[in-house]
Every structure is written in structure tokens, then in C-alpha cells.
Amino acid sequence: MNISVNPSGYIEFYAQRMRCALGRGGLRNNKREGDGATPIGHHKLGRVFYRPDRCDHPPATGLTTHTITPDLGWCDDPEHADYNRLITLPHSAHHETLWRDDHVYDVIVEILYNINPIKAGLGSAIFMHVAKPDYSPTEGCIALKYEDLLSLLQLCNEGDAVVVPAPATASKPT
């Protein structure tokens, strides 16, 4: 299954359409660390991480699931060898903590962007995760309402992907 991102703030798959939040930096082909952009391209889905204290059970999905524990993080330091990788805390490099006080990371789907090989500075920690109630922009991730994310995951299997298209360019008058 391909999950298509509509730049106006929706994802579409099969005959369904769900509201989402996208990166504050828009959609970009030349993604850089810290720019807040959602990377353009065809990106496979990876692991699903979830908070066992906030989810009754692992999300129903054909993707591999893992629990989030307080000692998990994601390295976003382009100068470190662990850049764009899951890490165990404490960690010496700059990182995101996956165990958060808010609900944004209650369920996380890894988007396989900037891997094989990982290139320093091209962006890290690109996830599909829970949206804030006001659907405010993300730091480059795709965010859905909790219930929508769980519904989507029920249909996801290994090899499925999110497709972020390049924004349409305005046609020039002839």
C-alpha cells in the first residue's frame, strides 16, 4: 500500500482520507537537519514504537512493533556516528527523547528516510506520529489523530510506503 500525502494536510490511501499535520518548513526535496521540512519522496515504513503505559496493547499492524521505554531516544546530531539511529539514553550526542510527557510519541511509525546510507545533515527522526489537538506543524514528521493512526496501522504491512509528492508548480500563462 502507498499512503499518499496531500500537501494541503491530508493523507490518502485506498478510499480513505485523513487529516494530518506536516512539517513547518513545507515539503522539500533538499531536506536538511533542523529545517522543519517533510522530505519529498517514496519512503518505506519501518518499525512501530508505542508507549505501553498509554496503549492497552501493541497497535494491530503488519509492521514490527516495539515498546518505548524511558531510556530510548533518537540521535539528531549530524556530527555523531549514531546520527539518525535509535539510541539508548543517556547518550552524549544531541537527541530526541522518545518517552515524552505529551502524547505526540505515544505511537510512532519510523519513516525510512535518509538510511542506507545515512548521510549526515540530511535529516533525522522522520516519523508518522500522533498530532497535537490543533494539528500544528511538526518538525518534519507526518502527524495524525491517535485513532486515525491506529486505523491506518491496521492496514499497514512490511513494504508499504508513504509518498510525499513535490508541490505542484503553478503553470505559466501562455
Kindly report the pTM of this predicted structure.
0.95
In single-letter form, the type of residue at position 131 comes to A
Name the maximum alpha-carbon separation found in the chain. 60
Mean pLDDT, residues 112-129: 98
In single-letter form, the type of residue at position 27 comes to L
Which domains can be identified in the chain, with CATH numbers? 2-164 (2.40.440)
Mean pLDDT, residues 58-67: 98
Q: Please give the pLDDT value at position 169.
A: 56
Q: Please give the pLDDT value at position 168.
A: 73
Mean pLDDT, residues 120-143: 98
Do 5 and 14 contact (CB within 8 A), yes or no?
no
The rounded Cα 59 to chain-centroid distance in angstroms is 16
Mean pLDDT, residues 51-59: 96
